[in-house]
Structures are given as C-alpha cells and as structure tokens.
Structure 1
Amino acid sequence: MTRLGLPDTVHACLFDMDGVLTRTATVHAAAWKETFDAFLSRRDGADFRPFDATDYDRYVDGMPRADGVRTFLASRGIHLPEGSEDDPPDRDTVHGLGNRKNALVLTKIQELGVEAFPGSVRYARAARDAGLRRAVVSSSANCQAVLAAAGIEDLFEVRIDGIVAAERHLPGKPHPDTFLAAAHDLGTPPGAAAVFEDALAGMEAGRAGAFGFVVGVNRADQAEELRRHGADVVVDDLAELLEEAP
C-alpha cells in the first residue's frame, strides 16, 4: 500500500463530488425533500408520507436527476409523464420535478455557499503530489460551478458530470459508464483506477466497472451497506487513508 492508502497498482483517483469532495449532499437532500414533499402533498393531501433520509439514500443519491425522480416515485407506485427537459418547475412531470429540484439546489448554493471537506482536499492534493491522475465524476449538471465555488476546480484534470454524460449519452450510476469515461480520458485502465464514493449507487458502479479499488466514504452512517454494495474499504473521512498509511 502507498501512503495514500491505495494498492501500488492504482495510478488514478476518480472522485464523486457531492458528499465526497463537497458538503453539497445535504443541500441536495434538502432540495429533494422540498420537491417531493410538495408534490406528494398536492397529490395525497395532508396525510401524505414525506420523503425521508432513507428514501434519499436508496432512490436518488448519486443518480442523474431524472433517474432519481423516476426511481423514488416508482417506490411509491407513482408514474408521471416524462415531459421535456425544458418543462417549468411547477409541472408534474419527471423533468418538471427534476427542474424544480435543480432550481432549489442553485438557490441554496447561492445562499449558503459551498464548502469542501478539508480531509478530501488534503487527500486530493496528496494524490496530485504523488503523481496520480485525478478526475471528478458527478451526476450533477452544476459540477463545474460547485467545484469553482469551493475553490478546488484546479485539483482535477478531468470532469465527467451531468452535462458531459448527456453529450456522450452515458448512463448514470449505478452503471459504471461515467467512471469508465473518466478513466479513459485520464488514459488509465479501470483496473489501475480507484473510485471514491459515498452513495450506494456509486459503490455498485465501482464494482460493475471492475475498478482496481473502491473507497466508500461513510457520510450517512451506512458503513455496512457501503461494504455490501462493493466498497473495498470504508472511511469516515479521506484523511484517514493518509493517517493509516505507513
């Protein structure tokens, strides 16, 4: 193992953004809750069952926005028209709800700013200094803006985000395609790349892509679930990998 806590065969690091590099996962969770609770309240009345943290972890965390809408609603036996990508945020379609969530996220980011996890920044800098290649892999269409707001955009050589995925027609997590694209753009085979994820869908993507190492970042008290879904190691903070390495 190197001082980065990775096998010596790993030459590239593929980082998820929300929840791994930045504290924006809580912002996304709050925006999803506000979006779905408003919809469910209109649909079912005062006795509606609210969207909760378990719903976030199981059905939307780490997924492309429209996939998250479909997956969560299907868990409640609800099916909406797809609509179109430019649907207004007050329209009860898959894309309408997704656009409502995105508008809420942007508002919350503007109001609250973006904070990067200090341990993750330390780790990304250590990876850079050790000569490892580095990419960000995120389902967010706002990835570049978030990285810039957090002041860490310059730490990564490649960005595969929601915009790039749409342009290249790449399916999102739990499919491995976005991570595979990042490894390809870095010139690194999957077996020589490590995936860093906090979402269960990201763990599945790491396992499905046959990557060399999968690091689960336990931000939601789900260490065992991360292991069951494909993590080779689970940490509460990426700095632990630096501290534990010889």
Structure 2
Amino acid sequence: MTQLGLPAPIVACLFDLDGVVTKTAVVHAAAWKETFDAFLRDRDGENFRPFDAAADYAEYVDGRPRADGVRTFLAARGIGLPEGRPDDPPDAATVHGLGNRKNLLLVAKIRTEGVEPYPGTLRYVEAARARGLRTAIVSSSANTRDVLRSIRAEHLFDVRIDGVVAAERRLPGKPHPDTFLAAAADLGVRPGQAAVFEDALAGMDAGRSGHFGYVVGVDRVGHADALYAHGADVVVADLAELGGAE
C-alpha cells in the first residue's frame, strides 16, 4: 500500500455519488419506497407486501439506472410491466412511468430536505487530488451535476459520467462496468490503474467485472459482508479510515 491506503499502481479514483460522496442514498431509498408501495398497494390490495427500504433497495435498486431498478425489483416480485417511453407521465403503469414518479419524489425531497456531503469523502478527494491522483464521479443519477453544485464539489472531479452522459453514449449502467470504464478512459488511465469507490452491491459487481485495480466498499448501512462477497478489496465505514485525509 502507498498513499491514501491504495496500491502502488493506482493513479485515479472513481467515486460513486449517492452514499459515497453525499448522504442521498437514504433519500433515494425513501423515494423508491413511496413509489413502489403506492404501486403495490393498488395492485395487490390486502396481499400488499411493502418495499423494504434497506434489503430490497440494496439488492435490486441501489446503484442501478432508474429503469433497471424498476425492472429488477418488479421481476423479483414476479411482476411484469410494459416498458413505455422515457417521457411517460409519472402516473403511467409502465417501467418508465414508475421511474419518473420516483424521480419527481426524489427531486422534491432534495429540494425540501437539501443535500449533505460526507465530510470524510470530500477530505479524501481533496487529499487524492493534492497528491496528483485524477478523480471522476460515476453515478447512474441524472441529477449528479445539480447535486455536486449544491454541495460546491463539482470542481473536485475531472470527469463526470452520470445518467445523462450514459444515455448520450448508450452505456449500460451498473452492475455492468461500462460507466466506470468510460470514466477511466476519459481520465486517460487503464482500469488496472484506477480504484472504484462504491457503496452499492451493483457497483461492487461493476468494479469486479471491469478488472479495476482496487475496489473500495463504503459501508454506511452495515452490509460489509455483502460488499466483500460482491468484490470489494477492502470495506470501510468512511473514507477517512483509509488515511491521508484527516
């Protein structure tokens, strides 16, 4: 190990947003729960089984593009919906309709509750940049730029690969490694020279399948074993634990 708890070949750091840089994972989970519970309650009536904002969110939704999260969770419940179109209204009974309903709720929650960063992560990113490491933000969220601007952190990342960029480039989202690979390419480094920082199981899978040099699992909710099982090289509760960012 060398600087900041990373192996010697690492020259770039690729950070997820929600749950790693900002405390928005819990807001996403709440928006998904409200969306899925309303849908399931209308559909199943007295057989309604609510969305679990911890277990279901981690297993089926966290880290995935919005529509993929809808598909994956509903498939786990044996439910199929028409795909619809990306511009479907939020009351449409389609994959994209449910996803758009969730996004409306998310944006409203962010506006009313605000966004908080994880100070340990910001210090770590600043320390990495001070040591000459390149940095990128890699998120499935289409709201990434606005969130970074709200915490005045946009300047901390040389490259941004988010839901908007992924759609423009037609990159499949996590658990596929394509968005992380795109970030590494934009930074001018090979995957083996880059470290991935993720809190989502889908992000761990992306880091492992992309053959990145180091995969750091960030455990905010007590699922370290699952992060290791999905490919983490190390798991920390906060990036300050890796050193160099005190």
Q: TM-score, normalised by structure 2?
A: 0.98
Q: Which residue pairs with 1:70 in the alignment?
A: 71
Q: Which residue pairs with 2:234 in the alignment?
A: 233
Superposition deviation, residue 184 in structure 1: 0.1
Q: Secondary structure at the match of 1:131?
A: coil
Q: Which residue pairs with 2:216 in the alignment?
A: 215
Q: Which residue pairs with 1:50 in the alignment?
A: 50
Q: Deviations over 1:88-118 (max 9, x none)?
A: 1011100000000000010000001111000
Q: Which residue pairs with 1:174 in the alignment?
A: 175
Cα distance in 1, alignment partners of residues 46 and 32 from structure 2: 19
Let me know the Cα RMSD of the aligned residues.
Answer: 1.2
1:83–1:95 CA contact under 8 A, matched in 2: yes
Q: Which residue pairs with 1:115 in the alignment?
A: 116
**Where do 5+ consecutive residues of structure 2 fail to align?**
none
Q: Secondary structure at the match of 1:81?
A: coil
2:127–2:245 CA contact under 8 A, matched in 1: no
Overall identity of the aligned pairs, in %: 70
Q: Which residue pairs with 2:6 in the alignment?
A: 6
Cα distance in 2, alignment partners of residues 3 and 230 from structure 1: 22
**Superposed structure 1 runs of 4+ greater than 6 Å apart:** none
Q: Which residue pairs with 1:28 in the alignment?
A: 28
**Residue identity matched to 2:110:** I
Q: Deviations over 1:63-107 (max 9, x none)?
A: 000000000000000000001111110111000000000000100
2:124–2:245 CA contact under 8 A, matched in 1: no
Aligned pair count reads: 245
Q: Secondary structure at the match of 2:115?
A: coil
Superposition deviation, residue 3 in structure 1: 3.0
Cα distance in 1, alignment partners of residues 10 and 46 from structure 2: 52
1:5–1:244 CA contact under 8 A, matched in 2: no
Cα distance in 2, alignment partners of residues 160 and 3 from structure 1: 25
Q: Secondary structure at the match of 1:4?
A: helix
**Residue identity matched to 1:45:** G
Q: TM-score, normalised by structure 1?
A: 0.98
Superposition deviation, residue 167 in structure 1: 0.6
Greater shift, 149-158 or 70-79, is seen at 149-158
Q: Deviations over 1:146-199 (max 9, x none)?
A: 111111111001000001000101000000000000000000100000000000
